[in-house]
């Protein structure tokens, strides 16, 4: 395959961003679950739990994410703040692939701890960091440490990826895209002001990885953090202020167009 000109790739991907970054995208994507809410804290919690189980079939992700917010009486923030041990019992039966009831109960307990300590998930990710320092690599690593600062089942650690250990942290990068990116298209929420879209990293999965390699944006074969950093740096050359908008293009090309 001949070397592609960066101007041609930018023009091509910009067109695909316009095609997919609109409210029609919400109908088939797990992001529809946090879109059920308007309050910042409800969006944060519904988005975080949805992103946590966002692997496997999209229909299953959406159905199980909806089940979670329904178990919280469609009032995630109030539920997380005030849930008693008895009110957490129904969550012990929750299962999504390898994420089970034990994991689910701990997640809610840790969220309660974080909201009582920080007041928001945004601050749990970014507290003590300047906006320039608060990129995905730094904030996800800090958040993970904070999330597991209370007693927790050992098995549950696998459900919060750690880029500091080399993981691509796809689901948390996706979650941060939802919370941080701001535009007028109505898909991403843009409710976190303490991070800049420029500091986001690409949510790297099978689709975005394969398309990035086909377009010669990524050479590394393994979908790990080194690959995330490599492809994100290329995307920053295309748009330094908003590199992760190209997630829409790369994902759409892979998942919908089978490019």
pLDDT in tens, 115-143: 999 999 999 999 999 999 999 999 999 99
Q: By percentage, how much of the chain surpasses pLDDT 90?
A: 96
Domain span holding position 103: 6-255
Residue 2 has pLDDT above 70, yes or no: no
Please count the CA atoms within 13 angstroms of the CA of 24 that sit on its side-chain side.
Answer: 7
**From the CB of residue 86, how many other CB atoms can be counted at a distance below 10 Å?**
7
User: Does residue 20 belong to any structural domain of this protein?
Assistant: yes
User: Does residue 241 belong to any structural domain of this protein?
Assistant: yes
User: Does residue 1 belong to any structural domain of this protein?
Assistant: no
| pLDDT tens string 40-61 | 999 999 999 999 999 999 999 9
| pLDDT tens string 156-201 | 999 999 999 999 999 999 999 999 999 999 999 999 999 999 999 9
User: Does residue 19 belong to any structural domain of this protein?
Assistant: yes
CB 247 within 8 A of CB 211: no
The per-residue pLDDT of the chain, averaged, comes to: 96
Taking only Cα atoms into account, the Rg of the chain, rounded to an integer number of angstroms, comes to 18
Average pLDDT over every residue of 74-82: 98
CB 190 within 8 A of CB 196: no
Which own/partner contact pairs does 16-20 have at CB distance under 8 Å and 24+ positions apart?
Answer: 16/248, 16/249, 16/250, 16/252, 16/253, 17/245, 17/246, 17/248, 17/249, 19/249, 19/252, 20/248, 20/249, 20/251, 20/252, 20/256
pLDDT of residue 220: 98
CB 163 within 8 A of CB 137: yes
Domain count, the chain: 1
User: Does residue 158 belong to any structural domain of this protein?
Assistant: yes
């Amino acid at each position: 395959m001949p070397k592609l000109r960066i101007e041609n790739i930018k023009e091509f991907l910009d067109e695909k961003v316009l095609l997919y970054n609109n409210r029609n995208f919400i109908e088939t994507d797990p992001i529809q679950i946090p879109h059920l809410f308007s309050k910042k804290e409800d969006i944060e919690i519904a988005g975080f739990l949805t992103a946590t189980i966002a692997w496997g079939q999209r229909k299953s992700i959406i159905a199980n994410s909806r089940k979670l917010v329904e178990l919280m009486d469609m009032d995630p923030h109030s539920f997380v703040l005030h849930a008693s041990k008895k009110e957490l019992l129904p969550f012990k039966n929750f299962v999504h692939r390898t994420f089970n009831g034990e994991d689910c109960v701990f997640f809610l307990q840790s969220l309660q701890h974080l909201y009582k300590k920080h007041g928001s998930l945004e601050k749990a990710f970014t507290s003590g960091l300047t906006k320039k320092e608060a990129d995905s690599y730094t904030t996800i690593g800090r958040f993970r440490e904070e999330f597991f600062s209370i007693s927790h089942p050992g098995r549950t650690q696998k459900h919060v990826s750690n880029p500091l250990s080399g993981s691509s942290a796809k689901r948390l990068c996706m979650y941060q895209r939802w919370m941080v990116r701001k535009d007028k298209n109505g898909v991403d929420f843009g409710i976190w002001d303490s991070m800049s879209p420029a500091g986001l990293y690409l949510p790297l999965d099978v689709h975005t990885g394969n398309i990035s390699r086909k377009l010669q944006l990524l050479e590394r074969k393994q979908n790990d953090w080194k690959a995330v950093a490599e492809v994100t740096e290329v995307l920053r050359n295309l748009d330094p202020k908003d590199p992760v908008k190209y997630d829409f293009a790369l994902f759409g090309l892979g998942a919908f167009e089978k490019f």
